Copies of this chain bind each other. A is one copy, B any other.
Amino acid sequence: MKNLIIGQSGGPTAVINASLFGAVKAWKEAGQPGHALGMLNGIEGFLADQTVDLSETLSEHDLALLAHTPAAYLGSCRYKLPEDLQDAVYPAIFDNFREMNIGFFLYIGGNDSMDTVDKLSRYAAMTKSDVRFIGIPKTIDNDLVLTDHTPGFASAAKYVAATVREITLDASVYQQRAVTIVEIMGRHAGWLTAASVLARKFEGDNPYLIYLPETPFSLEQFAADLEHAFAKSSQVVVCVSEGIADAGGTFVCEYSDAAKLDSFGHKMLTGCGEILESFVRERFGVKARSIELNVSQRCSGMLASETDIHEAALAGAEGVRAALAGETGKMIAFRREADDPYQITCLTQNVTAICNLEKKFPREWIAPAGNDILPAFLPYILPLIQGEPEHTIVNGLPCYLYRR
């Protein structure tokens, strides 16, 4: 009669709720007599006894909406558990588990969340607790190791590709020379920015230049690249990861010694897109615009990938199955069996081997000059962005599930 508890942690994605949906559905289908509980705002809320009974409160209709609702239905947190397993927080958490009769713990998140799963499962082993801990991967950054890809990435990639395609159309309407810089999320890994290569309508189309954090960025090389691009077209669209950095390791966004001070005397946060915009205007005297795709790239339900939604739900369901089968300290992972026709299988990996590593975008998929993405990336990315979700539309707008 043990209960299941599920939490969401880290930044929102378009499909973190699809994993929640998949887990609740699988729990029900497994015919478990215990309840599926949700912790509000992750482990932080759990410590404050904030939980909700998902088996009781979510109808079939709610569950269907949940699968297509972006962001995090249960709320999230950025709480990092102490390194020291002797810390008083651990017995507090496990007391809660006993009180609530928790047998299974699912945590949907990225790197930091896998760290939570790792620590809790190690504490459980240490204290001979039989609570089982499973991580469900989630990150638009696609930077978790030991899995082909992570739920959340494909929807963000699809959003980036579709939106940059529209931006290239928008950028081409005037005749005069102009540079449009699109800043895309990704501090250390360029997977999402690389997806902007899909925006091209034909070979040799905009975006002409794409820069990832994986290769050193140089303003002088950028200027030379722009000169080449202008030879092709007056309108140049450039896609950059927010985390591009130079050979010395300095982030381009840190170049803002042009220190934009606001009227209150505070330094205003400047993205690398804005820095490059100023650089282009200064160097080339042309019209320049920077566009930060911002949070929509991680929370756009309308432009999500149906493949991603399906796989996120699958990962949630597999998490329940693995926990019920007695596994613990594991993350659900995908292994790609084939690109075409696309096929994956699920497996489990040790979280300890995942939680403190980052999977970079492969150097061999980046052009030697570090300013473009090579076609070798396409068989990897294309299957992931296929399929458009069927949304429930009410009064012209998407209907989403929310807590009040």
Contact = CB atoms under 8 A, between A and B. Distances in A.
Interface string A254-266: 0110101011101
A352 interface: no
A305 B72 CA distance: 27
A169 B17 CA distance: 12
A30 interface: no
A382 B400 contact: no
A369 interface: no
A278 B294 contact: no
B266 A256 contact: no
A397 B198 contact: yes
A258 B295 CA distance: 24
A370 interface: no
Contacts of A347: none
A268 B263 contact: no
Given A278-B262, A278-B268, A292-B292, A169 B299 contact: yes
Interface residues of A, number: 72
Given A263-B256, A397-B198, A398-B165, A295 B302 contact: no
Contacts of A282: 264, 266
Nearest to A41: B175
A295 B289 CA distance: 10
A396 B155 CA distance: 11
A165 to B, nearest CB: 6
A162 interface: yes
B292 A275 contact: no
A173 B386 contact: no
Most chain B beta-carbon contacts within 10 A, residue among A70, A163, A268, A388: A268
A296 interface: yes
Contacts of A400: 165, 169, 201
A298 B170 contact: yes
Contact of A173 (B12, B167, B264): B12
25 contacts: A12-B173, A71-B166, A71-B172, A71-B173, A72-B173, A77-B175, A158-B397, A163-B300, A165-B400, A166-B296, A166-B301, A166-B302, A172-B402, A256-B262, A262-B278, A263-B278, A264-B279, A268-B274, A289-B295, A291-B294, A291-B295, A291-B296, A302-B303, A303-B303, A388-B393
Nearest to A13: B170
